C-alpha cells in the first residue's frame, strides 16, 4: 500500500512536539498539509517537514486529497473538525479531551461510523512505558484485586507549554470549556479505566479556580471515584503545582501495592505483602519539559494500514470524558453523580 497521506490541523505545542515529528519519523506516513489561522506556524512546519500550509481547515479539505488527519486545535474545535473530516472520508486522530460535551462525542462517533473511517483519541498516557508495565503487572493477577487507589496529574499550568503562553486559549472558557480537568483530569480518568479494566460508576468532586487570574476555567480538582468493581479512589488534576509536578498513581491491592511514577528512576515499584520489593526501570514518563515519543501516531498509522480499529477509540474517549463531565455536575450540584452503566 502507498503511504498514508496526512494533514495536521493546529500547529501549536502538541503538533510541533509530538504529532508532526512522529509522522515524519514514520516511514508509512507522508505529511502533506497543515492548517492554522496563524499561517506562519503552518508555513514553518511545511518548510521543515514538507507539504502545504493553509490558514483554515476548510481550505485544506477543499484542496488536498488526504487519508488521515490529526486534530491538534483548542478543545471547542475538536468536534466540528472531526465531523467535517469524517464526512470527507478521512480517518481522524483527535487530541484529548475528544470533545467538550457528551452530545459532541456521540456525533463524532456516529460521523466516523457512517462514513467508514476510524476515530482515535490521543490518550497517550496508556502508551507510556511505566503505565504499560503497571498494566502488565496488574493483568497478571498476582496482586489480586485493586481495592483503593490514588491517581494525580499536576504541573504549573499551560503558560509554559502552549505556543501562546499566558494568552493561550487554554485560559479562555469559551474555547477550552474544561481547564485542568480537560487538560490533565481526562488523562487520568482514561488511564484508571484502562489500567483497572473497569468503569467509573460514581463520582463526587470539588473543582475550582484557586490561583490562576483572569480566567473562568478550573485550575484544580479533587474527585472521588467508585469503580464498578467496588474499588474506590481519588483523581487529582492541578495547574498550580508550581514546584514538584506529579504524574503518579498508587494502587493498594489484595496482595500488595503498586507505585507508578513516585520515585524518579524506579518508575514502577511493587511491594508485596510477603515483603518482596520489585523495582522496574522502564523509562521515564513524558513531561512538558522532556518529551518522549507518544506512540499514538504509530498506532494510528498502523491501524489504518492494517484496517484494524484503533484500541483508543472514540467510544473509549467518550467514556473517559463522561467521568470528567460527571465531576463538573457533582461540583455544580453538590451531589454524587452516577454514570450510566
Ligand X SMILES: NC(=O)c1ccc[n+]([C@@H]2O[C@H](COP(=O)([O-])OP(=O)(O)OC[C@H]3O[C@@H](n4cnc5c(N)ncnc54)[C@H](O)[C@@H]3O)[C@@H](O)[C@H]2O)c1
Binding site for ligand X (CB under 6 A): 9-15, 35-38, 41, 57, 72-75, 77, 95-96, 122, 124, 161-164, 168-169, 183
Shortest spacing between CB 125 and ligand X, in angstroms: 7
Q: Is 233 helix (H, G, I), strand (E, B) or coil?
A: strand
Residue number, 107 or 288, with CB nearest to ligand X? 288
Task: Give the HSE-up count for residue 298: Cα atoms under 13 Å, Cβ half-sphere.
Answer: 9
CB 7 within 8 A of CB 64: yes
- Measured from the CB atom, is 71 or 196 closer to ligand X? 71
Closer CB to ligand X, residue 185 or residue 233?
185
Contact (Cβ atoms closer than 8 angstroms) between residue 163 and residue 41: yes
Under 8 Å between Cβ of 74 and 55: no
Distances (CA, A) of 316 to 10, 38, 90, 280, 313: 23, 32, 20, 28, 5
> CB of 106: closest distance to ligand X in angstroms?
19
Residue for cell digits 502508551? Answer: 127
User: How far apart are CB 158 and ligand X at their closest, in Å?
Assistant: 7
CA distance 86 to 58: 13
Taking the C-alpha atoms of residue 216 and residue 19, their distance in angstroms, rounded to an integer, is 29
Which residue lies nearer to ligand X by CB, 8 or 143? Answer: 8
Q: Which is nearer to ligand X, 16 or 269 (CB)?
A: 16
Place of cell 480499529: 309
Measure CA of the first residue to CA of the last residue in the chain; give whole Å.
41
Which DSSP symbol is given to 184? I
Q: In terms of CB distance, is 208 or 295 closer to ligand X? A: 295
Q: How far apart are CB 57 and ligand X at their closest, in Å?
A: 5
> What is the closest distance, in whole angstroms, from the C-beta atom of residue 161 to ligand X in the complex?
6
CB nearest ligand X: which residue? Answer: 12
Amino acid at each position: 500500500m502507498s503511504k498514508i497521506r496526512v494533514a495536521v490541523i493546529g500547529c501549536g505545542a502538541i503538533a510541533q512536539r509530538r504529532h508532526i515529528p512522529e509522522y515524519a519519523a514514520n516511514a508509512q506516513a507522508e505529511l502533506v498539509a497543515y492548517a492554522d489561522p496563524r499561517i506562519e506556524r503552518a508555513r514553518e512546519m511545511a518548510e521543515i517537514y514538507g507539504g502545504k500550509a493553509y490558514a483554515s481547515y476548510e481550505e485544506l479539505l477543499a484542496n488536498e486529497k488526504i487519508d488521515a488527519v490529526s486534530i491538534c486545535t483548542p478543545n471547542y474545535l475538536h468536534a466540528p473538525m472531526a465531523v467535517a473530516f469524517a464526512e470527507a472520508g478521512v480517518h481522524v486522530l483527535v487530541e484529548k479531551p475528544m470533545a467538550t460535551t457528551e452530545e459532541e462525542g456521540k456525533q463524532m462517533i456516529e460521523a466516523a461510523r457512517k462514513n467508514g473511517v476510524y476515530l482515535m483519541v490521543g490518550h497517550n498516557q496508556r502508551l507510556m512505558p511505566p503505565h504499560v508495565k503497571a498494566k502488565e503487572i496488574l493483568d497478571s493477577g498476582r496482586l489480586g484485586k485493586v481495592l483503593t487507589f490514588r491517581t494525580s496529574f499536576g504541573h504549573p499550568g499551560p503558560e509554559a507549554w502552549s505556543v501562546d503562553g499566558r494568552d493561550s486559549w487554554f485560559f479562555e472558557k469559551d474555547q477550552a470549556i474544561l481547564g485542568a480537568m480537560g487538560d490533565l483530569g481526562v488523562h487520568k480518568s482514561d488511564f484508571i479505566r484502562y489500567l483497572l479494566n473497569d468503569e467509573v460508576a460514581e463520582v463526587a468532586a470539588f473543582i475550582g479556580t484557586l490561583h490562576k487570574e483572569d480566567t473562568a476555567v478550573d485550575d484544580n480538582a479533587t474527585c472521588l471515584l467508585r469503580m464498578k468493581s467496588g474499588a474506590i479512589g481519588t483523581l487529582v488534576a492541578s495547574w498550580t503545582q508550581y514546584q514538584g509536578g506529579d504524574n503518579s498513581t498508587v494502587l493498594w491491592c489484595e496482595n500488595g501495592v503498586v507505585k507508578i511514577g513516585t520515585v524518579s528512576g524506579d518508575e514502577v515499584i511493587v511491594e508485596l505483602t510477603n515483603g518482596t520489593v520489585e523495582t522496574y526501570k522502564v523509562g521515564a514518563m513524558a513531561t512538558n519539559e522532556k518529551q518522549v515519543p507518544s506512540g499514538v501516531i504509530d498506532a494510528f498509522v498502523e491501524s489504518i494500514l492494517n484496517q484494524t480499529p484503533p484500541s483508543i477509540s472514540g467510544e473509549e474517549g467518550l467514556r473517559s470524558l463522561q467521568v470528567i463531565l460527571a465531576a463538573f455536575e457533582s461540583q455544580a450540584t453538590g451531589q454524587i453523580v452516577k454514570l450510566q452503566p
